[in-house]
Copies of this chain bind each other. A is one copy, B any other.
Amino acid sequence: MAKEIRFNAFVVNRPVHQSPGLWRHPRDRSTSYQDLGYWVELARTLERGRFDTVFLADGIGVNDVYGGGIEAALRHGSQVPTNDPILLIPAMAHATRDLGFAVTGNLSFEQPYLFARRLSTLDQLTRGRLAWNIVTGKSAAGAKGLGRGIVAHDRRYDIADEFMEVVYKLWEGSWEDDAVLWDREAGIFADPAKVHRVRHDGEHYRLDAIHLTEPSPQRTPLLFQAGGSQRGRQFAARHAEGIFLAAPSKTVAGAVVRDVRRRAAENGRDPAELLFFPLVTVITGETEREAKAKLADYQSYISHEGALVLFSGWTGIDLAGRDPDEILRFENRDNGVVSTIEAFTTADPDRSWTLREIALHAGIGGQGPVIVGSPTQVADELQSWVEEVGADGFNLAYAVAPDSYVDFVDLVVPELQRRGACKRDYAPGTLREKLYGPGRARLSAPHPAAAFRHLPAEDAA
């Protein structure tokens, strides 16, 4: 029996994501990102293909490494503009029944009291189909938008741990399960003795209030995380249920998966319950030849400078003003981060790259692999990733939107379904139940959120 493979569509509320320049492709509709109809149609396609979630990335601040400014990013629309992702979800949720929604939220930039309310509202409106992709905000440009400097990396995670404690208290501890009565006869909405004031007086956050919303189906939304650093992995091992992973090869990805699962076990969690979703981009057609022709066609639309803007942002190396034929050699810097440079050294350790070649490589698929082939070939490769890496599914990026998803749904999903590696129908219930089974709508021990389920009785409202 083949292992089930899960899919998230890795998208973002902006016209350029992981394929700079491809907005110029005649079939691309990325520039329709301001049109709710575009998103609703995409959601329906994904639900037809039994995707688990739409995974909405975000980026606060503009990439300013290349040329030391944002001119080139603007010229090519390289990950700018970036609109608020959360506002796409209600329209997509209303048009679907089972598709989940993972929204990126940068806790460094949010107030826990209002952020918790926003996510509870959305978990209610989606009937428990919400996930939160927790990021802590590495963008100095974004921090400047909020009038402050960037906080040192490890300290960001300390703040993040406290933020999580506050939102867990609000989501899990403020309202008991049987607090809300809606008793028409007695005229009672809620039993005040079962609603608890969250009193938090920490280093970074203070709060003295009840959660403003009654419990949502999942209480805490399903938790995604993507940190690759040592401290990020520690955070993931403690909090994350789903882990998004941008790794250039099975070897690199597998090492991260094993390491985070080991850390989760040290925290008393079942390592198998951490679900890993490597980033991949799939380009497919009826035949291998058709798929390869599609790749060549797509590559002809890559904006080379737009791609170097992304590459410079990922690596911190300013490649502006250099000869496209200049040859670069990359050293694999072992800083614990799955870096873009690894993507180049891992792919072929002995190879040197021209800037032109770098742009071509970085121009489709971001920091993950690009799988090109017939449905059978793609299914083989995805299954080998799952087997060798220990992955549970994929965050599927696109080259051309929505065609990359339509192709995948029409060609690869049926092949995987034939192999028993892709569900034919959704499981019932909330997103967490769809992933973990009946009775699992909410987090339970030893996940740390469960510890905040019962606030002290003297904190009754």
**Which chain A residues have a beta carbon within 8 Å of chain B's beta carbons?**
13, 15-16, 21, 23-24, 31, 34-37, 40, 60-62, 69-72, 74-77, 80-84, 86-91, 93-95, 109, 111, 113-114, 117-118, 120-122, 124-125, 141-142, 144-148, 182, 184, 187-192, 195, 205-210, 212-214, 303, 461
Q: Is the CB of A76 within 8 A of B187?
A: yes
When distances are taken between beta carbons in the complex, the residues of chain B under 8 Å from A146 are 111, 113-114, 207
When distances are taken between beta carbons in the complex, the residues of chain B under 8 Å from A121 are 13, 83-84, 87
When distances are taken between beta carbons in the complex, the residues of chain B under 8 Å from A192 are 70-72, 74-75
- For the complex, what is the distance from the CA of A188 to the CA of B21, rounded to whole Å? 9
Q: Is the CB of A77 within 8 A of B189?
A: yes
A235–chain B nearest beta-carbon distance, Å:
23
- For the complex, what is the distance from the CA of A83 to the CA of B89, rounded to whole Å? 16
- For the complex, what is the distance from the CA of A146 to the CA of B206, rounded to whole Å? 7
A81–chain B nearest beta-carbon distance, Å:
5
Contacts known (A75-B189, A190-B75, A195-B74); A111 close to B109, Cβ less than 8 A: yes
Q: Is the CB of A125 within 8 A of B87?
A: yes
- For the complex, what is the distance from the CA of A15 to the CA of B303, rounded to whole Å? 51
Q: A83-B213, A145-B209 are in contact. List 4 more A-B contacts (CB 8 A).
A: A70-B192, A75-B188, A87-B118, A109-B111
When distances are taken between beta carbons in the complex, the residues of chain B under 8 Å from A36 are 90, 93-94, 125
Q: Is the CB of A144 within 8 A of B207?
A: yes
When distances are taken between beta carbons in the complex, the residues of chain B under 8 Å from A84 are 114, 117-118, 121-122
When distances are taken between beta carbons in the complex, the residues of chain B under 8 Å from A74 are 189-192, 195, 461
When distances are taken between beta carbons in the complex, the residues of chain B under 8 Å from A93 are 36, 91
10 pairs, A vs B, C-beta closer than 8 Å: A21-B187, A40-B94, A70-B210, A74-B461, A77-B190, A82-B212, A89-B90, A94-B94, A114-B146, A147-B207
Contacts known (A74-B189, A209-B141, A461-B71); A83 close to B303, Cβ less than 8 A: no
When distances are taken between beta carbons in the complex, the residues of chain B under 8 Å from A125 are 34-36, 87-88, 91
Q: Is the CB of A189 within 8 A of B87?
A: no
Closest-by-CB residue of B relative to A117 is: B84
Closest-by-CB residue of B relative to A13 is: B121
